[in-house]
Structure 1
Amino acid sequence: MAKQNAFRLDELSAIVTGGGSGIGRCIAETFAEAGARVIVADIDLAAARAVAESIEAAGGQARALAADVSCEVEVIRLFEDATAAYGNIDVLVNNAAIFPKKPFLEVDTEFWDRLQSVNLRGTFLCLREAIKGMKSSGGGSIVNISSVSSMQAVVHHNAVYNASKAGVNSLTRTTALEFGGDRIRVNAVLPGGIPTAGARAASAAIELKGPILGEGRIPLGGMGDVQDIANAALFLASPAARYITGQMLAVDGGFLVS
């Protein structure tokens, strides 16, 4: 492949979960600009449709599908419908997640189970269905969106989310090892502080304590933005990363080394 095309996704089909807003929307738009046929999957079908329509208006290819990634039946249907629309799925971005915060001693099993069901079970279910198809079609690339919080505690009240993302990291490494022989690459992007609307709302809902991603904690200075995460996801999904699997790529301005 020519060097200038190594970062392209031409003729490839991609599913982006949680693609209706925030990081997921930017990833879907960036993949479409790189030539991919994109399935914008989101629990909010109206939001997914808005993103797909925006992509098509810009000359890209996209379709919107509704899916609650915590529900096995809906995930199976998502992959069936995506395959019917675009054929083999070459790329999956596991982005859908929730991130409510709660003081550790106030966490009940309902809160724990709901967050894990979306962030960890949802990632597992999408991985499973994607890998099934990729094994049959000769390979593919999967990018899991994790968090620097999986590696380093950043704020209080985030233990349940941190645990879910640590699980995502483990799934990333395990599936990369198990399915590398099938030419399936699995990597993760670990965003640092990205001030999406959802992240701001989660933080505003509770008084945060403990160290934050503030002045002096980020060597490159300041927060990142959604495009930084989308660019990393594009790299890992593309042929430019053909010899990379099982890796955790922190996109955090250097926070983890500070």
Structure 2
Amino acid sequence: MPPTLQGKTVFVTGGTRGIGRAIAVKCAQNGAHVVVAARNASSSSTVVAEIEGAGGQAIAVPCDIQCEDQVAAAVQAAVARFGGIDVVVNNASTLVLKPTADISMSEYDLMAAINARGAFAVVKHALPYLRNSTNAHILTLCPKPQLESKWFEKNTAYAVSKFTMGMMAFGLAAEQKPFGIASNTLWPFSTIDTDGLAECGNAQFQARPRKPAILADAAYWIITQKSTAFTGNFCLDEIVLRESGVDDFDRYNSVEGTALADLSQDHLIADEQLSRLAELRRK
């Protein structure tokens, strides 16, 4: 039987736009109940309508993951509506690309509170319900941690916040293995065409991105694997899809006709992941 999320409850942070929204809709198309937790409550009704139109059931819960009480309330709302939680997708994140001399402490604190602490809080409050699931997954949108100067020399604060997420995800894989809970990460090879990309002010990143659908498809594959077998992995979207049999990547291009070599490559990608991807592309 093909993998499915039929009847499973997926809790997605930052799910009202961009990557989170694409993942939420993809899960709904495959039978999931979806809980969208996001600060942007104004667009929640349209997201719920889109999810339900895709065949799933959904609720949207206003939640600033910087605030633990709001996280706890959002988790309880999910459990009250759907009876439990099977998958947590830690997608919510904030991006400030500035060197140490230029970044303000309020900007640093925002990244630390959302990217690292917020993701941890969501998992902490969801754990009692994940432990009751027959195939529980935690998926965190972050890169593989790397101790190379090139990743820190321009944006130390951002790199630290995202690599901290990766260390948390890896730690959770070890810590929660006895309970059958998988913890993996996912990161894109290319930049992704979202509102956040439009706001980043980097012309090179913005030139030839891919659509959020590529991350949604990769995320779906990860969270439908057997949780006791697929855990502790740092995944790159294109590698995941190529290794699962996908060979048509043109459909993900935001700019039609973009060659693989011309895609706007994201940053913080480990060298071994680039080597593996090059190998897969040659096949």
**TM-score w.r.t. structure 2 length?**
0.77
Deviation at 1:139, TM superposition (A): 5.3
The letter of the residue matching 1:191 is P
Task: Tell me, yes or no, if the aligned pair for 2:12 and 2:89 is still in contact at 8 Å.
Answer: yes
1:173 is aligned to 2:159: no
The letter of the residue matching 1:84 is A
2:175 and 2:227 map into 1 onto residues whose CA distance is 18
Aligned to 1:19: 15
Correspondence for 2:57 among 48, 57, 61: 61
Query: What is the aligned-residue identity percentage?
Result: 28
Aligned to 2:192: 194
1:233 is aligned to 2:219: yes
Task: Tell me, yes or no, if the aligned pair for 1:120 and 1:164 is still in contact at 8 Å.
Answer: yes
Equivalent pairs, count: 241
* Superposition map of 1:69-218 within 5 A: 69-137=65-133, 140-147=136-143, 151=146, 153=150, 157-192=154-189, 193-203=191-201
Shift in CA distance, 158/195, structure 1 to aligned 2, threshold 3 Å: farther
Matched position secondary structure for 2:35: strand
Shift in CA distance, 61/168, structure 1 to aligned 2, threshold 3 Å: same
Deviation at 1:240, TM superposition (A): 5.6
1:139 and 1:128 map into 2 onto residues whose CA distance is 17
Superimposed CA distance per residue, residues 110-163 of structure 1 (whole angstroms, 9 cap, x where no aligned partner): 221111101111110011112222224455111101147x54756975322211
2:124 and 2:24 map into 1 onto residues whose CA distance is 21
Structure 2: state its 5+ residue gaps. Answer: 239-259, 276-283
Q: Please tell me the root mean square deviation across aligned C-alpha atoms, in Å.
A: 2.5
1:154 and 1:20 map into 2 onto residues whose CA distance is 29
Deviation at 1:250, TM superposition (A): 1.5
Shift in CA distance, 214/109, structure 1 to aligned 2, threshold 3 Å: closer
Aligned to 2:41: 45
The letter of the residue matching 1:247 is N
1:250 is aligned to 2:236: yes
1:166 and 1:197 map into 2 onto residues whose CA distance is 23
Structure 1: state its 5+ residue gaps. Answer: 216-221
Superimposed CA distance per residue, residues 47-89 of structure 1 (whole angstroms, 9 cap, x where no aligned partner): 2221111121333211111100111000000101110010110
Runs of 4+ residues deviating >6 angstroms: none
Task: Tell me, yes or no, if the aligned pair for 2:99 and 2:155 is still in contact at 8 Å.
Answer: yes
**TM-score w.r.t. structure 1 length?**
0.84
User: Looking at both structures, which has the greater relative contact order when contacts are Cα pairs under 8 Å and sequence separation is at least 6?
Assistant: 1
Matched position secondary structure for 1:239: coil
Task: Tell me, yes or no, if the aligned pair for 2:99 and 2:157 is still in contact at 8 Å.
Answer: no
